[in-house]
A and B are shown apart, each in its own frame.
Chain A
């Protein structure tokens, strides 16, 4: 997998998976289209605060991630896309030095920053004459530079929990969107 070529083996991470009826193409197309307001659970929050950020509630999450500084770090067509960026603390919203490719992400070593990688991988499965796609969302975070490991170790449980809640909701929305196609 492309993500393994970018992320160090000791990076902390979590993987959330879902099995969705549909082809890889249908799933990939849907993945890029889901706006926050479509998330079955977290979407309520986004819809509630829509008055404050009407544009963001309708703009697909994938596009918002790219807008917020994630760059595409690696691809295998219709199988995997790896997004990555530099962040500080747990905030993904503030503006940080944008790394534009995997070489820059790997090379970044300024203390106090985190490297965040989110990879979506898709694998075909067939059951009972039906075609499914297994979607895996891999979140990997590791500190940039030396000496930030202790602080990051404290933050990781919270990051992992939040990432899992978000990823699972995104998967639910994905399954729903593909089913409604």
Chain B
């Protein structure tokens, strides 16, 4: 079947954009999650809506599953094939930005546009999306991010990536093309999300299981004229989270996040030597239309921060803003070039204390085993609006696979490519990751980038799971779109 499908797809896209060689198939079967699953049978790189429709129809005819893929930056197998015989659909050739309208404060973009590209394009015209990208936005695409959902730049004030979406263009399982929101109105356009029931939401955070996104309409906000920042040293993890959440709920901060001793140590080596010896920090970035308004917000937030800790040099959040998508090489490995694997959860403030205690106790319980295998941990937190985004990570010395190495600076990749495999530590770290995730799930963790790793289906109420499955059965009766995702099939 694979050969026939390859020839058929190749005749549509051209041999340059249809791949069956081993190296390419292996590459497109990786993300940052370490654990191998299936290998894609064919890799395609469409560049137009018509090509996507053609691929979907041809794959559907022979029952070949399709895994849409952006930058591949998930750590939860979202873009890794979950069943044999998959077509991996690399969306990055669909990379045009259409219809930037400052008048209507919206932009329509192809799914393969990166967050860096969209930021540069819309900011040139005086706009910015409310959520404006993950730290990996130099690689992460709009389509991939919307399939995963995400929180970082702008999320302190505006929330998740999905909240910036006004409408979508989606290819369904038989090749039909659907528009959502006001975009579906025959006399309107994609200026508003809510036109009757929220059809857009079905295709967000869906891991690409409901359809192939071929365009996204995103809201814009006026580009802030002023950006200022604050930083605080705080005495411990619990107070750090309290401070972050107290600042987050004001909705005055574009980003609020905290570093632990490991990350403060890393940044101290990058030039921020004032962080040496400071264990826990809170960083705040404020955007505003004028300096006066930014200063007023900073003054208000400073009063809050000083209730929890001491003010320090605010250079870190400003430096992060200067090159917002440039920290990927720092964050996809540990400070010493270790393998890195995180997990995360979103929680309401009322559960923050329990989350802290549970995590710290788990790390304490595992301390001896981690010491034996050289496994380190970090605890990053951020405010997503009023809520807590919590991301513990594990680090250990182990070989970095090619997918990670290519994201690093060449000289760093050269140094790290010879690091030997450490399968024993890897197995233990991945086991701990699963155990801690389960502990946090029991507290009610809500996950972004559910992919094929978080046990989304397991924790759904039966009626919700049944409804979701019936929706999936209706939209994608042959279960062709990214099977194995969301834990619903």
A interface residues (Cβ-Cβ under 8 A, vs B): 5, 23-25, 28-29, 32-33, 60, 62-67, 71-81, 98, 100-101, 103, 124, 180-181
Contacts and interface: CB of A to CB of B under 8 A. Distances in A.
B315 A71 contact: yes
Nearest to A64: B271
Please provide the 7 A-B residue pairs with the shortest distance between their CB atoms, ordered closest to farther. Answer: A63-B271, A66-B271, A72-B318, A81-B322, A100-B313, A72-B315, A28-B323
24 contacts: A29-B323, A32-B323, A63-B269, A65-B271, A66-B270, A66-B272, A66-B315, A66-B319, A71-B313, A72-B315, A73-B318, A74-B227, A75-B227, A76-B227, A78-B119, A78-B323, A78-B325, A81-B323, A98-B274, A100-B313, A100-B314, A100-B315, A124-B120, A181-B410
Nearest to A103: B295
Given A65-B271, A72-B315, A25 B326 contact: yes
A97 B241 CA distance: 31
Contacts of A100: 312-315
A82 to B, nearest CB: 9
A180 B123 CA distance: 28
A28 B312 contact: no
Contacts of B295: 103
Interface residues of B, number: 31
A71 B116 CA distance: 25
A103 B325 CA distance: 27
Given A33-B409, A62-B271, A78 B116 contact: yes
B273 to A, nearest CB: 5
B325 A25 contact: yes
A75 B326 contact: no
Contacts of B271: 60, 62-67
Nearest to B319: A72
A109 B337 CA distance: 44
A74 B318 contact: yes
A86 to B, nearest CB: 13
B322 A77 contact: yes
A78 B223 CA distance: 14
Interface string B390-409: 00000000000000000001
Contacts of B124: 124
A24 B120 contact: yes
A124 B116 CA distance: 13
A31 to B, nearest CB: 8
A169 to B, nearest CB: 20
A63 B324 contact: no
B77 interface: no
Interface in B309-353: 312-315, 318-319, 321-326
A170 to B, nearest CB: 15
Contacts of B321: 75, 77
A96 to B, nearest CB: 14
Contact of B322 (A5, A72, A180): A72
Contacts of A64: 271
Given A63-B271, A71-B313, A72-B322, 4 more contacts: A28-B322, A65-B271, A98-B313, A101-B229
A73 B315 CA distance: 7
Nearest to B411: A33
A24 B116 CA distance: 9
Contacts of B322: 28, 72, 75, 77-78, 80-81
Nearest to B316: A72
A181 to B, nearest CB: 7
A102 to B, nearest CB: 8
A76 B295 CA distance: 16
A75 B319 CA distance: 8
B303 to A, nearest CB: 16
A25 B323 contact: yes
Contacts of B323: 25, 28-29, 32, 77-78, 81
B294 to A, nearest CB: 11
A79 B224 CA distance: 14
Contacts of A29: 323, 326, 409
B138 interface: yes
Nearest to A28: B323
Contacts of A98: 274, 313
A94 B273 CA distance: 15
B273 A32 contact: no
B104 interface: no
